[in-house]
Amino acid sequence: MKKTKHLIVQKFGGSSVANPERIKRVAQRVVDTKRAGSGVVVVVSALGDTTDELLQLASQVSQDPPERELDMLMSTGEQISVALLAMAITELGEKAVSFTGAQVGILTDGTHTKARIIAINTQRIRKALAANHIVIVAGFQGVNLNQDITTLGRGGSDLTAVALAKALVADACEIFTDVEGVYTADPRIVPDAKKLSHISYDEMLELASLGAQVMQARSIFVAKRFDVPIHVRSSFSMREGTMITKSVRAMEDIVVSGVTLRKDEAKVTVRDVPDKPGMAAQIFRELATKEVNVDMIVQNVSREGSTDLSFTVAKSDLPETLRVSRSISRRIGAGEVTTDEGVAKISIVGIGMRSHSGVAARMFEAMARERINIEMISTSEIKISCVIRRQHAESAVRLLHKAFGLGKGSKATKETA
Amino acid sequence: MKKTKHLIVQKFGGSSVANPERIKRVAQRVVDTKRAGSGVVVVVSALGDTTDELLQLASQVSQDPPERELDMLMSTGEQISVALLAMAITELGEKAVSFTGAQVGILTDGTHTKARIIAINTQRIRKALAANHIVIVAGFQGVNLNQDITTLGRGGSDLTAVALAKALVADACEIFTDVEGVYTADPRIVPDAKKLSHISYDEMLELASLGAQVMQARSIFVAKRFDVPIHVRSSFSMREGTMITKSVRAMEDIVVSGVTLRKDEAKVTVRDVPDKPGMAAQIFRELATKEVNVDMIVQNVSREGSTDLSFTVAKSDLPETLRVSRSISRRIGAGEVTTDEGVAKISIVGIGMRSHSGVAARMFEAMARERINIEMISTSEIKISCVIRRQHAESAVRLLHKAFGLGKGSKATKETA
């Protein structure tokens, strides 16, 4: 067989391999794919709660564990998964071989706990595939030039899968989750929400960072950069999920692809910030130093030499954020710092809004009709986000979903087969 | 500092690192050693029950897991331990770095689950020691030429420690256990039993294979071969334990060093084996193929062209042993195969018996006085073992301990300081 065989990279998350029963089910799915005629490379995360249990152990021996040792510890989670999956696949009568990140040469930089992949040496994987093995690779981990184990940070296993698909020039990269694909809105909030058959990288990037739990933004970014098509689908059904690709011709006339909601953020406002260069920079540089991730930032034009600066942060970061903001506010001569935890952020995302005017207006009008007050607005090329009162969050998702015709019966959206 | 610093290898078993509290205690002990002025290399086993839990997981996904994947799985246990210990040591203010077997180049052959160490590349360890780090190495594991993870089998962590002590030309190799050292007999059976300050490799080899649970025979064999002095001592006290060394001058006049007991074996007898060459070989080759470990073998001179052949095996191997023995007995025209689980094996061990006659006689007389019948006898240069009825086991240990003057008050033994 001279021609390169059809090759699929499949990634299964921690909940898909949470216990021996589920591992066996994943094994069966992988074996089915192999027997349908494909070479298969499988990427797995750690079993269910393993990661939390290991972190718990670490916290019991150290207040501030060295990051190199955290990676040494955490990487065992995926190593356990790959060994067990290889056993389960062998039990089904197919040849399987498991590898750590180090063994397949997933070379990263030296940034422990959030390393970046530099290169992948695919030689060992290709050899195993040529020997008709199903190849199982530990997700989330790599190795630096010193042979120290590194981990890739949150969503690292998705990244491993996408990077392997790119390096191996795979025909498909399938990300298995516990949902059927990417939806126009959270089906728990909007029963009418529809699964999208296709979505672009850019839209998915916005959806990921806006709270759709399907994939981490980072791996979508890499997929976009190297144009790796991703198929997000369910571990529990054989149905087609959602394809994430570069250009989605059929979607050009779809203005809005989905509505997302985040309720885990709080709003912080620094009053009367002097309207001088560098004021905002001081606040956000200091917050970055403290590793506080700031999400939306809104600053309006100044009135009488000063302005109010508002931003949102994760609620867990609120105490640190307040400490930092108050201290800087005093230093730069700004006013009171107020905080509001009763907020939610609602966003609409769509590649189509680039070329369609009036999208923002339609969004604001829909909310006004229902007397939902908008407290902050922030926009990007393919997204509009609004901060509103939390008690209106769910109803706002439903009304926007309807206003943009995203429901199953609507004409404004089209599913392509 | 041009001169090589004093270097100690310390090995802690699974019960010493069973939980975060104990890991912290081990960390303190290691740090104390470092602060007393030594370079320290620490070898650790997997936390308490980790190994059993991992094997349990494997058995739930596979009836017959591939050994390569078992090693991949099992090796995570030690990797967790080394990372946690490195964290705990860092917490105490010393620099520490953990390594897997692969990372420090513990090169083994390819025999998964019971690999042999071929070579150790000490470069990485020496570099870390030179940088004033406490070096923590995962016990029990290595890597073959393919970079596949291997494990060293039972007692593998002791072997890692001994091999590292040899490769690094360490000044001491300390094996920490939950007992104070090597005793003249099991203190639970003989309250008068005395801790030996010194013992030879050969005696320790006999004691290890005879059921003293302190160290596996294999690592003592390696220590003997490369003349690595071992200090067996308690994790829970600062007292000196037992030194295992090549020649123990002060012991030359000690005839017997200890009394050991095994009650986990059964006796098997094949009656009327034809007195022809190759009969015994057939039986034991077949048992070896089935991985049954045969311990004592006794065959007396033949009477009327046939002989009885008796041997002992672990009770867990008895069903398999009977199956094999009965099938071969029929094939070679031997008689009935009988079995007896009501036995115990009692042994006396001592380098001194090489040059002292009458030791066996003294042993048999002591037992005769108490009317304990001896059913089988087997001897080596430094050991005499007898199979007796199990109900006499403990009293036989006590009476032999006394007969050879091993008690604390006795003159016949000497402790050197």
Q: Which is more confidently placed, B21 or B5? A: B21
- Per-residue pLDDT tens digits for B191-216: 989 999 989 998 888 887 666 677 87
pLDDT at A28: 97
Distance of CA A8 to the CA centre of its chain: 21
Q: Which domains does chain A have, with CATH numbers?
A: 7-177 (3.40.1160.10)
Could you tell me which residues come within 8 angstroms of residue B360 by beta carbon, excluding any fewer than 6 positions away? B379, B384
pLDDT at B301: 72
| pLDDT cut 70: percent of chain A above it | 93
| pLDDT cut 90: percent of chain B above it | 57
B385 phi/psi in degrees, rounded to 5: -115, 140
Q: Do B79 and A84 touch (CB under 8 A)?
A: no
**Which residues does B contribute to its contact with A (CB < 8 Å)?**
20, 23-24, 27, 54, 57-58, 60-66, 68-70, 72-73, 75-76, 79-80, 82-88, 90-91, 96-98, 100, 102-103, 147-149
* A398/A380 Cα distance (integer angstroms): 22
CB atoms within 10 A of CB A240: 14
Buried b (16+ CB within 10 A) or exposed e, A188-206: ebbeebbbbbbbbbbbbbb
- Per-residue pLDDT tens digits for B78-114: 999 999 999 999 999 999 999 999 999 999 999 999 8
CB atoms within 10 A of CB B398: 18
Place of tokens 């700004």: A334
| Bridge partners for A137 per DSSP | A43, A99
Q: Do B72 and A79 touch (CB under 8 A)?
A: yes
Tell me which chain A residues have a C-beta less than 8 angstroms from the C-beta of B61: 20, 23-24, 27, 84-85, 87-88, 91
Chain B residue whose CA is closest to A72: B83
Tell me which chain B residues have a C-beta less than 8 angstroms from the C-beta of A62: 87-88, 90-91
For the residues B325-351, what does the mean pLDDT come to? 91
pLDDT over 80 (residue B1): no
Q: Do B88 and A62 touch (CB under 8 A)?
A: yes
* B232/B234 Cα distance (integer angstroms): 7
pLDDT at A210: 67
- Least confident interval from A5-9, B268-272, B357-361, B390-394: B357-361
Q: Do B79 and A83 touch (CB under 8 A)?
A: no
Q: Do B79 and A73 touch (CB under 8 A)?
A: yes
Of B20, B68, B148, Cβ closest to residue A61: B20
Q: B371 vs chain A: nearest CA distance in angstroms?
A: 55
| Bridge partners for A343 per DSSP | A389
- Least confident interval from A75-84, B234-243, B253-262, B311-320: B253-262
Q: B128 vs chain A: nearest CA distance in angstroms?
A: 12
Strand segments (E) across B69-205: 96-99, 106-108, 117-120, 134-138, 141-143, 149-151, 172-177, 198-200
Q: B120 vs chain A: nearest CA distance in angstroms?
A: 16
| Bridge partners for B176 per DSSP | B12, B233
Q: Do A83 and B103 touch (CB under 8 A)?
A: no
Q: Do B87 and A69 touch (CB under 8 A)?
A: yes
pLDDT at B412: 44
For the residues B278-303, what does the mean pLDDT come to? 80
Helix, strand or coil for residue A197?
coil
For the residues B168-193, what does the mean pLDDT come to? 90
Buried b (16+ CB within 10 A) or exposed e, A95-121: ebbbbbbbbbbbbbeeebbbbebeebe
pLDDT at A62: 95
- Per-residue pLDDT tens digits for A183-217: 888 888 899 899 999 899 988 888 876 666 778 78
Ramachandran quadrant class, B95 (left: phi over 0; alpha: psi -120 to 50; beta: rest): beta
Of B20, B58, B80, Cβ closest to residue A87: B58
Output the average pLDDT for chain B: 89
Confidence of residue B57 (pLDDT cuts 50, 70, 90): very high
Could you tell me which residues come within 8 angstroms of residue A291 by beta carbon, excluding any fewer than 6 positions away? none
Q: A41 vs chain B: nearest CA distance in angstroms?
A: 16
pLDDT over 70 (residue B251): no
pLDDT at B209: 67
pLDDT over 50 (residue A47): yes
Closest CA to B161 of B12, B39, B48: B12
Of B27, B76, B100, Cβ closest to residue A80: B76
Tell me which chain B residues have a C-beta less than 8 angstroms from the C-beta of A57: 20, 80, 84
pLDDT over 60 (residue A417): no
pLDDT at A250: 54
pLDDT at A261: 92
- Per-residue pLDDT tens digits for A105-132: 999 999 999 899 999 999 999 999 999 9
Chain B residue whose CA is closest to A69: B83
Output the average pLDDT for chain A: 89
For the residues A341-367, what does the mean pLDDT come to? 85
- Least confident interval from A204-218, A279-293, B254-268, B281-295: A204-218
- Least confident interval from A20-34, A168-182, A369-383: A369-383
**Are A214 and A169 within 8 A, CB to CB?**
no
**Are B87 and B66 within 8 A, CB to CB?**
no
- Least confident interval from A41-45, A276-280, B245-249: B245-249
Chain B residue whose CA is closest to A28: B61
Q: B18 vs chain A: nearest CA distance in angstroms?
A: 11
Complex ipTM: 0.78
Of A64, A98, A148, Cβ closest to residue B72: A98
